[in-house]
């Protein structure tokens, strides 16, 4: 194998596998380097499922990117003859004046998205597996659903390799540097050269991009599965993906898939991880208490018995929007980081944006709001000095 490539991608998780695919499709000689397997359960892209939705409460500017990501997931499914996106709909229950319900309505109105308000009667008839709190709003987004997270990463890697990309697994990048010849990337015992570098390090991004490190906060998130009767809580019984924005926290979950349990977890909460290599993967009683209480109160279709768990990590940016940009000092280095617990659904379009940045230095896609320099002063100041 030659050690010289057109582009090297460091980190082949969600964003890295998508970047490998996008760059390989455009005819570049691509090398992806991943410290674990692809997929793996060490980073942020494991645990069977991820929610995909368009009525984006986080900001309406994400919606055009979501339109493209929906198209790209379909193309990936077609190219691989794979079934990755399950369009089961999303039931959202929440405080009517909260940021989530008002944000969903704002994005839906701005982009004419298909969502509807669920009446009490419809809720009782159709969503009897859930309890609606007194005075809560309920919205249903029929084109939302879930992605099979490990299969998505595996499929994007396989398609990238089919397009000629080389992906090296179980190799940790220890350093990278730039000189007049281009990029030099080193692992424990190899050196690779390329014209361009794309960094997609997930929870390790701060190590690979020291200037961004002060702006990234890694959080421990435990995914829990609860015993349930699949006949009452699977897709065939009409159970959608669901999310509850409550005064006590933000919870979400999925229908039962293949087994007699269903994944339900808390999105809110802040348990900081000082080193992604030493994430605590054990289950503690503090990990279950709040979610068990939520399930007991609001999820009639599941029991409060935890069957299994999986620890995962969010990499938060200060404003919870992604960082997708070129390095401020090196024009041939681009990166995607800080996906703040909501990035997976975007992976294919982020891969295309990274390919645009790597090849053209800019993107025509409406992603300018994700550049570091486009943020408010406190976010820009949270980043360190480029080195
Ligand atoms: C519990 C949980 C629930 C979530 N729910 C949703 C959801 O419902 N919907 C949604 O859209 N998003 C969701 N997200 C967020 C989404 O999963 C993440 O934003 C996304 O997976 C991050 O992708 P990534 O490529 O940045 O990180 P990863 O997929 O973790 O990839 C980073 C990769 O880089 C590798 N790497 C790092 N450093 C090096 C190095 N030095 N050398 C070689 N390799 C290296 C790592 O091993 C890793 O494989 C959730 C996240 C979690 C944790």
Q: What is the number of the ligand 1 atom nearest to the C-alpha of 223?
A: 1
In this structure, the residue with its CA closest to atom 46 of ligand 1 is 11
Task: Write down the pTM of the prediction.
Answer: 0.98
The answer to whether residues 76 and 70 touch, using CB atoms and an 8 Å cutoff, is no
Whole-number average pLDDT of the chain: 97
Residue 200 annotated to the active site: no
Per-residue b or e along 100-138, where b marks 16 or more CB atoms closer than 10 Å to that residue's CB: bbebbbbbbeebebebeebeeeebeeebebbebeeebbb
Quick one: average pLDDT of 155-181?
A: 97
Ordered structural domains, the chain, with CATH:
4-45+150-216+319-382 (3.50.50.60), 90-142+217-316 (3.30.9.10)
Residue 366's pLDDT is: 98
Question: Is ligand 1 within 6 A of the CB of residue 206?
Answer: no
For residue 222, the tally of other CB atoms under 10 A from its CB is 23
For 17-28, the pLDDT digits (tens) are: 999 999 999 999
Residue 258's pLDDT is: 86
Percent of the chain whose predicted confidence (pLDDT) is above 90: 96
Question: Is ligand 1 within 6 A of the CB of residue 264?
Answer: no
With the most atoms of ligand 1 within 8 angstroms of its CB, the residue from 21, 73, 202 to mutate is 202
Residue 309's pLDDT is: 98
Which has the higher per-residue pLDDT, 40 or 385?
40
Residue 370's pLDDT is: 98
The answer to whether residues 317 and 216 touch, using CB atoms and an 8 Å cutoff, is yes
Cα–Cα distance for residue pair 38/26, rounded to 1 Å:
22
The answer to whether residues 195 and 332 touch, using CB atoms and an 8 Å cutoff, is yes
Quick one: average pLDDT of 309-334?
A: 97
Question: Is ligand 1 within 6 A of the CB of residue 299?
Answer: no
Residue 361's pLDDT is: 97
For 183-237, the pLDDT digits (tens) are: 999 999 999 999 999 999 999 999 999 999 999 999 999 999 999 998 999 999 9
The answer to whether residues 104 and 117 touch, using CB atoms and an 8 Å cutoff, is no
Residue 50 annotated to the active site: yes
The answer to whether residues 91 and 140 touch, using CB atoms and an 8 Å cutoff, is yes
Question: Is ligand 1 within 6 A of the CB of residue 312?
Answer: yes
Quick one: average pLDDT of 75-94?
A: 98
With the most atoms of ligand 1 within 8 angstroms of its CB, the residue from 15, 17, 31, 43 to mutate is 43
Q: Assess whether pLDDT exceeds 90 at residue 51.
A: yes
Q: What is the number of the ligand 1 atom nearest to the C-alpha of 345?
A: 11
The answer to whether residues 46 and 236 touch, using CB atoms and an 8 Å cutoff, is no
Residue 300's pLDDT is: 97
């Amino acid at each position: 194998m030659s050690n010289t490539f057109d582009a090297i991608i460091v980190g082949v998780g969600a964003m890295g596998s998508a970047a490998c695919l996008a760059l390989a499709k455009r005819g570049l000689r691509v090398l992806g380097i991943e410290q674990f397997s692809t997929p793996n359960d060490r980073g942020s892209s494991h645990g069977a499922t991820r929610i995909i939705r368009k009525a984006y409460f986080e900001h309406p500017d994400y919606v055009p990117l979501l339109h493209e990501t929906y198209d790209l997931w379909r193309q990936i499914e077609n190219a691989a003859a794979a079934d990755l996106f399950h369009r089961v709909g999303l039931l959202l229950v929440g405080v009517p004046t909260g940021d989530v319900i008002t944000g969903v309505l704002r994005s839906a109105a701005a982009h004419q998205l298909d969502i509807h308000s669920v009446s009490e009667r419809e809720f009782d008839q159709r969503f009897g597996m859930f309890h609606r709190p007194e005075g809560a709003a309920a919205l249903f987004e029929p084109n939302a659903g879930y992605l099979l997270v490990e299969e998505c990463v595996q499929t994007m890697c396989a398609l990238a390799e089919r397009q000629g990309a080389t992906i090296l697994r179980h190799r940790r990048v220890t350093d990278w540097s730039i000189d007049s010849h281009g990029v030099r990337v080193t692992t424990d015992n190899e050196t690779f050269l390329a014209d361009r570098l794309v960094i997609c390090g997930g929870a390790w991004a701060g190590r690979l991009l020291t200037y961004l490190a002060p702006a990234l906060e890694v959080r421990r998130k435990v995914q829990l599965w609860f015993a349930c009767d699949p006949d009452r809580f699977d897709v065939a019984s009409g159970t959608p993906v669901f999310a509850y924005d409550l005064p006590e926290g933000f919870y979400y979950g999925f229908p039962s898939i293949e087994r007699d349990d269903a994944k339900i977890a808390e999105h809110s909460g802040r348990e900081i991880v000082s080193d992604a290599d030493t994430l605590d993967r054990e289950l503690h009683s503090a990990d279950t208490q709040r979610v068990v209480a939520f399930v007991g109160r609001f999820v009639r279709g599941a029991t409060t018995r935890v069957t299994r768990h999986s620890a995962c990590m969010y990499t938060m940016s200060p404003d919870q929007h992604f960082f997708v940009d070129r390095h401020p000092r090196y024009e041939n280095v681009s990166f995607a980081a800080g996906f703040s617990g909501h990035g997976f659904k975007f992976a294919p379009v982020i891969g295309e944006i990274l390919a645009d940045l790597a090849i053209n230095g800019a993107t025509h896609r409406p992603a300018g709001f994700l550049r570091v320099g486009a943020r408010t002063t406190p976010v820009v100041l949270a980043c360190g000095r480029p080195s």
